[in-house]
Amino acid sequence: MPRNRARQRSKAIFSNLQNISSASHPQHGEADSQSLITIHQQAIMAAEDTQKLPRMKKFRFQLLDQWLVNRFYPCRTADIGGGKGLISFLLAQHGWPVTVIDPVVQDLPPKYKDIQNGRRIKISPENRVEYIQAKFEVEHAANFELLIGMHAHGCNAKIIDAAERFGCAFVIFPCCVIDEPFYPRLGVHWLESLADYAIRKGLSIDCFRLNFKGQNIGLFYSGRLKKIS
Ligand SMILES: C[S@@+](CC[C@H](N)C(=O)[O-])C[C@H]1O[C@@H](n2cnc3c(N)ncnc32)[C@H](O)[C@@H]1O
């Protein structure tokens, strides 16, 4: 899809999601999804996706880490489909107890960029994150307060099921629909379909966008997370 058309499409989906999610909060209307936090003059959160807004390319883990640690106190977190585990590593650096749940165990990347100061940080091969080597099942969520699904393959509907069952919060950036238990209706985007699925289960959700390239729209259910005031 040409870049302009992709942005327009993404904007339309985001706007639909805002309508869907604000209807799930009848008492307080829009959430704080419009507020912008910036690092080095670049927005972490992109309320509007315009061509003027420079995107941080590939720093999705760093951006999500900042989004979480600036808003919430540390809580028991599962990084579902976490892959190399960089989001878990970054949250652990901020004192969050995090466990990756993924059937494929991978080493942490050897380095990453600290977006606060632009420095490249090496990760020593001795560094490890907690891992549960398994396909994610709803029962795993019993021990966690927050479930993260960053492009977590085939896990999005299960994450929502788990939030309903155990009351945990979630933040998901769904990408493809493959291996999920249902497909969106014709003409409905996968994100809209998931938002609707969560709301039908009685979960009030918000949508937000982080400033990275790729599928950067997140769905968030706050559960019992303690907000930093
Ligand atoms: C597209 S990668 C995303 C990895 C990482 N979160 C990221 O954003 O780079 C999808 C990940 O989901 C994992 N995965 C696939 N099926 C899964 C399942 N049933 N339960 C948990 N993780 C799964 C894969 O092993 C892979 O690490």
Percent of the chain with pLDDT over 90: 72
User: 21-25, 50-54, 152-156: which range is least confident on average?
Assistant: 50-54
In the beta sheet, which residues pair with residue 11?
Answer: none
- The answer to whether residue 228 is domain-embedded is no
Best of 57, 87, 102, 155 for a ligand 1 pocket test (most atoms within 8 Å of beta carbon): 102
| Closest atom, ligand 1, to C-alpha of 82 | 6
SS3 48: coil
pLDDT of residue 27: 57
CA–CA separation, 47 vs 220, rounded Å?
15
User: What distance lies between CA 116 and its chain's CA centroid?
Assistant: 20
Those residues with Cβ within 8 angstroms of residue 185's Cβ, 6 or more apart along the chain or in another chain: 193
- The answer to whether residue 213 is domain-embedded is yes
SS3 7: helix
User: 47-51, 68-72, 74-78, 183-187: which range is least confident on average?
Assistant: 47-51
- The answer to whether residue 226 is domain-embedded is no
Q: What element of type H or E holds 217?
A: strand 217-221
Under the banding of pLDDT at 50, 70 and 90, the label for residue 32 is very low
Residue of the CA atom closest to atom 18 of ligand 1: 135
- The answer to whether residue 25 is domain-embedded is yes
Give yes or no for residue 146 having a pLDDT over 50. yes
Residue of the CA atom closest to atom 13 of ligand 1: 81
Tens of pLDDT along 168-218? 999 999 999 999 999 999 999 999 999 999 999 999 999 999 988 889 999
Ligand 1, residues at Cβ distance < 6 Å: 80-83, 101-104, 135-136, 150-155
Mean of all residue pLDDT scores within the chain: 88
- The answer to whether residue 118 is domain-embedded is yes
Tens of pLDDT along 112-136? 999 888 899 999 999 999 999 999 9
* pTM of the entire predicted model: 0.89
- The answer to whether residue 203 is domain-embedded is yes
- Which of 153, 179, 175, 169 has its CA nearest to residue 82? 153
- The answer to whether residue 77 is domain-embedded is yes
1 Cα: distance to centroid of ligand 1 (angstroms): 25
CB 64 within 8 A of CB 171: yes
CA–CA separation, 8 vs 155, rounded Å?
27
The alpha carbon dihedral of 82, 65, 43, 226 has a sign of positive
Residue of the CA atom closest to atom 14 of ligand 1: 81
CATH number at residue 168: 3.40.50.150
CB 155 within 8 A of CB 163: no
- Which of 49, 45, 44 has its CA nearest to residue 12? 49
User: 2-6, 21-25, 120-124, 217-221: which range is least confident on average?
Assistant: 2-6
Domain that residue 68 falls in: 3-221
Tens of pLDDT along 84-105? 999 999 999 999 999 999 999 9
Of 28 and 216, the structure prediction assigns the larger pLDDT to 216
Under the banding of pLDDT at 50, 70 and 90, the label for residue 57 is low
- The answer to whether residue 229 is domain-embedded is no
Number of domains observed in the structure of the chain: 1
151 Cα: distance to centroid of ligand 1 (angstroms): 7
Q: What element of type H or E holds 208?
A: strand 206-209
Q: Determine the average pLDDT of the residues in 5-17.
A: 87
